[in-house]
Chains A and B, each alone.
Chain A
Amino acid sequence: MQVEVDVAGGLPGLEIVGLADTSVREARQRVRSALRNSGFEVPSRRITVNLSPASLHKEGSQMDLGIAVGILVASGQVPRSPRAADHCFLGELALDGSIKPVKGALPMVLSAQARGMQGVVIPAGNQAEVAMLPTAGSKVAVSLRELAGFLAGNSDLPSATAPGPDPHQAAPPEVDLSEIRGQKAAKRAIEVACCGGHNILLSGPPGAGKSMLARAVPGVLPELTEEESLAVTRIHSVAGILPPGSGLVKARPFRAPHHTVTASALVGGGPNPRPGEVTLAHRGVLFLDELPEFPPSVLNALRQPLEDGVSVITRSRATCTFPSRFLLAAAMNPCPCGYYGDELRQCTCTEHARKQYVSRVSGPFLDRMDIHLEVSRVAAADLTADGGETSAAVRERIREARMRQGRRLAGTGLTTNGEMGPSQVTSMVSLSSAARKMALDAFSRMKLSARAYYRVLKVAASVADLCESSRVEEEHVAEALSYRQRLSGEE
């Protein structure tokens, strides 16, 4: 975006044009005060500020700095120099002339660099997120006065520096596997899910630990690669959820929207398209607790992100494509009272009520969950016993298994088994004949859809990878099949 400033004759005033929304138009007052309090004057002239391209809606306060610089140069209070022309200016202005941080600094800097700008001047509050970028050129300005000195050639601005050890990143993930008592089967299922990137549905009575298990997932997933970290940081920067002063995001995102969330908040939307929860969960986990409470229309909106890994929002003004590759984890009770199938407590629901409750989650949606797991209550013995392996230990095993997956998927651009399409499953997953027979038997016996059949094979491949077997054997298929119980209890 370009800021053009014209100082002309006629009645004095400052006007901002270019489809600017309220927050941008308010820049008038901020820029005026900031200029005056920095020792400059706002010339009593007709000043027109145009934000081009003129057909694109503008919002936000990040243009304040550019507007102020434009006025300074156009009124001759700062000399016209290459420094002014070759740099991009980003920042909100406080009334006293100091420069405040903005949202989305990282993607803006990347964009400026892509356009060949020599450098970008950013607020001190944003330097942490851009300091990690390989190419230098981001400079930090604390106040308008400091920046003017730089533009006049009298002084230099410091480069953006990386922060010290980040307190936010050093924090361990929310839940470590070792904190969860018992639940061996569930932990195994989570290991398989994280290994191959499979969506997981946890079903069980209240208090069994479904939420805890879900919260342990980001810690079990392999660490973000640099590329993934950059992508996630960009998204979080634009969404304004980066903690102030933090650098690149290192922990996998975990998003748990409440079941009253709207489809628009979930997958993105609004008149000026904004990323939704699925995008904020990119490269991380999206957790839907109390799954049947989510309106079907909202769950339907998840289809595209789940299938394609992107969320496309079409509006009359613009079409935006947001990345949204995440692991879906969901939790639900098996019936309205929650105790159907529980060993100790009696279910108090009628069969009809239970069937109706379960049917709130549509068949097609369930089909996309690769792993259905029943989480039963914790036995007394387990409660006091040792917690078992830590997430870090499981992560190590997964790392090895992922390398095996990498070899299988070499050349496809995919990273996990979960991303494979049917043809890729057929060509790249090698089954023993016993395994193939078992899978086909199950296909007819369990009345699986074709989509479900391929998903079983993908999960079986992940199990095989964890078992360090290059071929998928019968027992791997068996385990994968065990993760596909229908919730209605037909199996």
Chain B
Amino acid sequence: MTIGTLKEEAACGFLERTGYTVVERNFRSRSGEIDVVARLGDMLVFVEVRYRKAGSLVGAEESVTCEKARRIRMAVKRYLCVRGIADSVPVRVDLCVVRDQGQLFEIVPGIIEFG
């Protein structure tokens, strides 16, 4: 297993411990990709995972650029369409920050707006 996958495992573990139920990982479409799709209560949450070394100068939120946000938006819409998710299901995009190689985790809910 690569280091990337280890970190992803750590992130998923944390999400599950926090109350999310991981439904799908690494959803890829032509216009974008999503790291983790999970359920939180009745809400469908799309989680973007970021890794930060200790003392990193770039904030995790800042690393979600306009372009990245656009790709995530497109991917979310694609997912809802392809998986046939009903219109009534609430949707959210969260950011999961993994710091110090799994020592510290942080979730920032609702980082992307659609309209």
Annotate B75-102 by CB proximity to A: 1 below 8 A, 0 otherwise.
Answer: 0110010000011111111000000000
Q: Does B115 contact A (CB under 8 A)?
A: yes
> How far apart are the CA atoms of A357 and B114 in the complex, in Å?
65
Interface majority SS (helix, strand, loop, mixed), chain A:
strand
Which chain A residues lie closer than 8 Å to B77 at the CB level? 11
Known: A44-B92, A44-B109, A44-B110. A14 touches B87 (CB 8 A): no
Which chain B residues lie closer than 8 Å to A15 at the CB level? 115
Closest partner residue, chain B, to A42 (CB atom): B110
Q: Are A10 and B90 in contact (CB under 8 A)?
A: yes
Q: Are A12 and B113 in contact (CB under 8 A)?
A: yes
Annotate A366-385 by CB proximity to B: 1 below 8 A, 0 otherwise.
Answer: 00000000000000000000
Q: Are A12 and B91 in contact (CB under 8 A)?
A: yes
> How far apart are the CA atoms of A133 and B7 in the complex, in Å?
67
Q: Does A76 contact B (CB under 8 A)?
A: no
Number of B residues with CB within 8 Å of any CB on chain A: 17
Known: A44-B109, A44-B110. A12 touches B86 (CB 8 A): no
Known: A44-B92, A45-B90. A11 touches B110 (CB 8 A): no
From B88, B109, B110, B113, contact of A10 by CB (8 A): B88
Q: Does A116 contact B (CB under 8 A)?
A: no
> How far apart are the CA atoms of A11 and B75 in the complex, in Å?
12
Q: Does A296 contact B (CB under 8 A)?
A: no
Closest partner residue, chain B, to A48 (CB atom): B115
Residue from the set A9, A11, A14, A45 with the largest chain B CB neighbour count within 10 Å: A11
Q: Are A9 and B86 in contact (CB under 8 A)?
A: yes
* A-B CB contact pairs (8 Å), 5 listed: A9-B88, A9-B89, A12-B92, A13-B113, A14-B115
**8 tightest CB-CB pairs across the interface, nearest first?**
A13-B115, A44-B110, A11-B114, A9-B90, A9-B88, A13-B114, A44-B92, A9-B89
Interface contacts beyond A11-B76, A44-B110: sample of 13 additional A-B pairs, CB < 8 Å, sorted by A? A8-B87, A9-B89, A9-B91, A10-B87, A10-B89, A11-B115, A12-B93, A12-B113, A13-B113, A13-B114, A44-B90, A44-B109, A46-B115
